[in-house]
């Protein structure tokens, strides 16, 4: 019995060793799966000074300019018998989503990127991120997941390690303002607009005004935001004047000569805006509904429209167009003088001549003299020191 | 002095002291030993009417007065023009403006029947209208006439009735020099500015509020030094036309103001 027990124990020890050897061989043959521990980060965007500048995602302009998004992932070691891929899609760590059997499967962007200890960089253009299956700038509002996969070189391409990065995308245009009114001033116009009720706040993050002729010249699209900060609501006029006043109101689908316009302009309602039409910077604030445009030429007909900007800074299509003709206007002083008012105003009135020291002038002079007397002793004390 | 003399003198003093130590009828009689006092009972601690504590309250020193007043105002700019020209009405319409005034007085002299004071007050008026084209079309621009009226005031407050007979009415009269600074704004900024001197006269009546809530008035005085509080109403005749020299914008008006005043 004792002998028999020893034989049994030895057999057990042999099978444990064999199992360990098999496990070790398997471990050497392919790296063990380490899970989703890779860090994927965005370190550069072609259209942004900093990657965290607003907006964070991809908008129409980013997509249409094929903005490059440059990512990197960091490796602390390089596994053998594995390769590094970059995929776009949902649940790309699942083998079934990488086999291409379904149209909704993940799309491989990079296969077998060179792995090294440290950063591994790769770039993806915005249209690819917007629609991995058919790169382009279709109107979508979605999130695309970037997958970095280290895949074992086995039959099933099991995942050794993985990491993801979410790219938010909004290439949908917001709704355009539904009506635009414009009132004239002297070398200026006051443009006001309305949004449809129920428009989401995110769809009216800001606005930009379009002018034709554009008083800012060809560089209209580079108009600084400081222009917007100058006080978008500083013009408290902007009533809905009638055409007889030389002002326009456009509430329909515009047209070449609608909204009080006597001629066709560079843009019409429903056009896709271009930078050269903008005569203001971004006018930030969903509650802003009026903007004064200065630097206009009296007697010239100007066409105005407005686009809304959503929180991704996507512009809407061009709103209905309204026109006005800036004209000379009289302030109260000019009206007063034109009526024959004899007040002198300004310095001629504020500094009375000798013998005209009535009123506060008469009080101001003794006051100044008193102040002078107070100062002289002070200077005298200073001199004595 | 001999010892007998000292003893006699001490006895006389003791008798005199006893005689002079009679209880004051205004003072409360001492409580018998062992009596418990309810310190939460106001009747126990508050001085009775007419007692020493109440009669000696005279308030804090009084030297100054502050007033805040408001009233309608319509400068008579168009009075300058003849032949139907009305540039002010054409631009700003007929609406009354809101005159807001702040006044500080130094009550420097107490004379029989009241106080003499000198002071200064300043305020603000604003008229906003539509700017028109030379051919009379309304534009989208506004034009603004801002006025800062300032008054250099001498005044007399007849407070004898209030002080002696508790009649809470204080008539007063103010007069002095008025100076109105004005400036016109257009969309580009300040178009023109100037000032118009003149004079003013302002009789009025103040309702002293102290009599309605004497406790609060005393508390106001002891905590903040405010002797009296008033509601005031006064007529304001401002002849602000450059003393008729014809080279100033006429900003005169006959109006009234009402507000609150505090003496401290």
Each residue's pLDDT tens digit, A269-327: 999 999 999 999 999 988 889 999 999 999 999 999 999 999 999 999 999 999 999 99
With an 8 Å Cβ cutoff, is B195 touching chain A? yes
Write out the H or E segment, with its range, that includes residue A360.
Answer: helix A359-384
Beta carbons of B186 and A246 less than 8 Å apart: no
Two structure tokens written together for A335:
């009206």
CB nearest to B85's CB, from A239, A339, A359: A339
Q: In sequence order, what are the beta bridge partners of A136?
A: none
Beta carbons of B139 and A186 less than 8 Å apart: yes
Mutate to test the interface with A, among B139, B187, B238 (most CBs of A within 10 A): B139
Write out the H or E segment, with its range, that includes residue A384.
Answer: helix A359-384
Beta carbons of B131 and A330 less than 8 Å apart: yes
Beta carbons of B177 and A237 less than 8 Å apart: no
Q: Computed from CA positions of residues A226, A51, A274, A268, in that sequence, does the dihedral angle turn out positive or negative?
A: negative
The whole-number average pLDDT for the span A356-364 is: 38
**pLDDT at residue A60, rounded to an integer:** 94
CB nearest to A360's CB, from B77, B129, B179: B179
Beta carbons of A331 and B137 less than 8 Å apart: no
Q: In this predicted complex, what is the ipTM?
A: 0.75
pLDDT at A133 over 50: yes
CB B109 within 8 A of CB B116: yes
Residue A94: partners with Cβ closer than 8 Å, 6 or more residues away? none
The DSSP secondary structure of B47-90, one letter per residue, reads PPTTSHHHHT---S---EEEEEEEEEE---GGGG--TT--HHHH
Residue B196: partners with Cβ closer than 8 Å, 6 or more residues away? A343, A349, A359, B179, B180, B182, B240, B241, B242, B248, B249, B250, B251
Each residue's pLDDT tens digit, A71-128: 999 998 888 899 999 999 999 999 999 888 887 889 999 998 889 899 999 999 999 9
CB B243 within 8 A of CB A358: yes
Residue B36: DSSP 8-state: -
Tell me which residue of B97, B147, B84, B41 sits closest to B255, measured CA to CA: B97
pLDDT at A251 over 80: no
**pLDDT at residue A288, rounded to an integer:** 84
**pLDDT at residue A112, rounded to an integer:** 85
Residue B62: partners with Cβ closer than 8 Å, 6 or more residues away? B107, B227, B228, B263, B264
Q: What percent of chain B has pLDDT over 70?
A: 78
**pLDDT at residue A100, rounded to an integer:** 80
β A188-194/A206-212 pair status: unpaired
Cα–Cα distance for residue pair A82/A156, rounded to 1 Å:
12
Low-confidence ranges of chain B (pLDDT < 70): 1-57
Q: How confident is the model at residue A346 (pLDDT cuts 50, 70, 90)?
A: low
**pLDDT at residue A35, rounded to an integer:** 67
Tell me which residue of A272, A276, A267, A275 sits closest to A305, measured CA to CA: A267
Tell me which residue of A196, A175, A194, A185 sits closest to A309, measured CA to CA: A175
Cα–Cα distance for residue pair B151/A155, rounded to 1 Å:
98
The DSSP secondary structure of A207-267, one letter per residue, reads EEEEEES-TTGGGGGG--HHHHHTTTT---------GGGT-EEE-SS--TT-TT-SS--S-
**pLDDT at residue B55, rounded to an integer:** 53
Each residue's pLDDT tens digit, A257-284: 556 788 888 999 999 999 999 999 999 9
Residue with tokens 């998004």: A69
Write out the H or E segment, with its range, that includes residue A319.
Answer: none
Beta strand segments in B209-252, E: 228-239
Q: Evaluate if pTM is beyond 0.90.
A: no
Please report the number of interchain residue pairs, chain A to chain B, with beta-carbon separation below 8 angstroms.
156
More confident residue, A236 or A333: A333
More confident residue, A3 or B180: B180
Q: In sequence order, what are the beta bridge partners of B192?
A: B184
CB A308 within 8 A of CB A175: yes
Which positions 67-86 of B are in contact with A (Cβ < 8 Å)?
77, 80-81, 85-86
Beta carbons of A335 and B91 less than 8 Å apart: yes
Listed range (A18-32, A206-220, A360-374) with the worst mean pLDDT: A360-374
Each residue's pLDDT tens digit, A47-83: 887 777 778 899 999 999 999 999 999 998 888 899 9
pLDDT at A367 over 80: no
Q: Shortest Cα distance from B117 to chain A (angstroms)?
A: 18
**pLDDT at residue B166, rounded to an integer:** 83
With an 8 Å Cβ cutoff, is B161 touching chain A? no
**pLDDT at residue B222, rounded to an integer:** 81
Cα–Cα distance for residue pair B100/B236, rounded to 1 Å:
13
CB atoms within 10 A of CB B195: 25
Beta carbons of B139 and A349 less than 8 Å apart: no
Beta strand segments in A66-178, E: 68-75, 82-88, 107-113, 118-125, 141-152, 159-170
Residues of B in contact with A342 (CB under 8 A): 80, 246-247
**pLDDT at residue A296, rounded to an integer:** 95
More confident residue, A305 or A358: A305
**pLDDT at residue A92, rounded to an integer:** 93
**pLDDT at residue A13, rounded to an integer:** 53
């Amino acid at each position: 019995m004792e002998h028999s027990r020893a034989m049994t124990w030895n057999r057990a020890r042999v099978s444990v060793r064999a199992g360990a050897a098999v496990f070790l061989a398997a471990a050497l043959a392919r790296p063990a799966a380490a899970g989703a521990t890779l860090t994927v980060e965005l370190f550069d965007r072609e259209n942004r000074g900093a990657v965290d500048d607003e907006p964070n995602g991809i908008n129409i302009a980013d997509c249409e300019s094929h903005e490059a998004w440059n990512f990197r992932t960091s490796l602390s070691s390089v596994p053998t018998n594995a390769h590094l891929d970059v995929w776009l899609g949902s649940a790309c760590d699942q083998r079934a989503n990488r086999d291409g059997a379904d149209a909704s499967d993940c799309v491989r962007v990079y296969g077998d990127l060179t792995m090294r200890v440290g950063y591994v960089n790769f770039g993806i253009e915005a249209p690819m991120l917007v629609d991995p299956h058919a790169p382009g700038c279709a109107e979508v509002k979605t999130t695309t997941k970037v997958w970095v996969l280290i895949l074992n070189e086995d039959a099933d391409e099991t995942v050794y390690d993985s990491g993801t990065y979410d790219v938010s995308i909004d290439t949908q245009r917001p709704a355009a303002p539904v009506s635009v009114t414009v009132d004239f001033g002297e070398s200026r116009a006051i443009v006001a607009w309305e949004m449809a009720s129920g428009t989401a706040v995110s769809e009216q993050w800001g606005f930009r005004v379009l002018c034709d002729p554009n008083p800012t010249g060809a560089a209209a699209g580079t108009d600084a935001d400081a222009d917007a900060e100058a006080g978008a609501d500083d013009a408290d006029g902007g009533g809905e004047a009638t055409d007889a006043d030389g002002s326009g109101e456009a509430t329909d689908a515009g047209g070449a000569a609608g909204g009080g316009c006597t001629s066709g302009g560079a843009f019409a309602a429903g056009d896709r805006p271009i930078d050269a039409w903008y005569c203001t910077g971004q006018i930030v604030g969903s509650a802003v509904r009026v903007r004064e445009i200065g630097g206009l030429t009296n007697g010239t007909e100007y066409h105005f429209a407005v686009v809304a900007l959503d929180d991704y800074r996507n512009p809407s299509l061009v709103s209905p167009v309204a026109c006005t003709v800036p004209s000379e206007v009289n302030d109260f002083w000019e009206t007063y003088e034109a009526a024959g008012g004899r007040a002198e105003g300004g310095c001629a009135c504020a500094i009375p001549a000798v013998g005209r020291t009535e009123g506060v002038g008469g009080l101001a002079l003794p006051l100044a003299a008193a102040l002078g007397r107070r100062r002289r002793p002070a200077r005298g004390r200073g001199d004595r020191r | 002095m001999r010892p007998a003399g000292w003893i006699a003198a001490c006895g006389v003093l003791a008798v005199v002291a006893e005689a002079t130590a009679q209880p004051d009828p205004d003072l409360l009689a001492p409580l018998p030993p062992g009596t418990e006092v309810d310190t939460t009972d106001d009747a126990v601690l508050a001085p009775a009417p007419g007692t020493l504590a109440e009669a000696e309250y005279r308030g804090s020193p009084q030297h100054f007065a502050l007033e805040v007043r408001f009233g309608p105002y319509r400068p008579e700019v168009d009075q300058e023009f003849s032949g139907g020209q009305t540039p002010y009405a054409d631009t700003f319409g007929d609406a009354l403006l809101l005159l807001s005034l702040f006044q500080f007085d130094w009550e420097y002299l107490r004379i029989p029947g009241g106080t003499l004071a000198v002071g200064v007050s300043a305020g603000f008026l604003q008229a906003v209208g539509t700017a028109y084209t030379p051919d009379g079309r309304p534009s989208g621009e506004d034009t603004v006439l801002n006025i800062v009226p300032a008054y250099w005031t001498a005044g007399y407050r007849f407070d004898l009735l209030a002080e002696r007979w508790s009649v809470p009415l204080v008539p007063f009269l103010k007069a002095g020099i008025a100076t109105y600074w004005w400036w016109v704004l257009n969309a580009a900024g300040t178009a023109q500015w100037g000032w118009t001197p003149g004079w003013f006269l302002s009789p009025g009546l103040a309702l002293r509020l102290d009599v309605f809530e004497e406790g609060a008035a005393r508390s106001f005085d002891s905590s903040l030094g405010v002797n009296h509080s008033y509601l005031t109403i006064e007529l304001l005749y401002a002849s602000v036309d450059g003393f008729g020299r014809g080279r100033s914008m006429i900003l005169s008006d006959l109006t009234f103001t009402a507000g609150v005043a505090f003496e401290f």
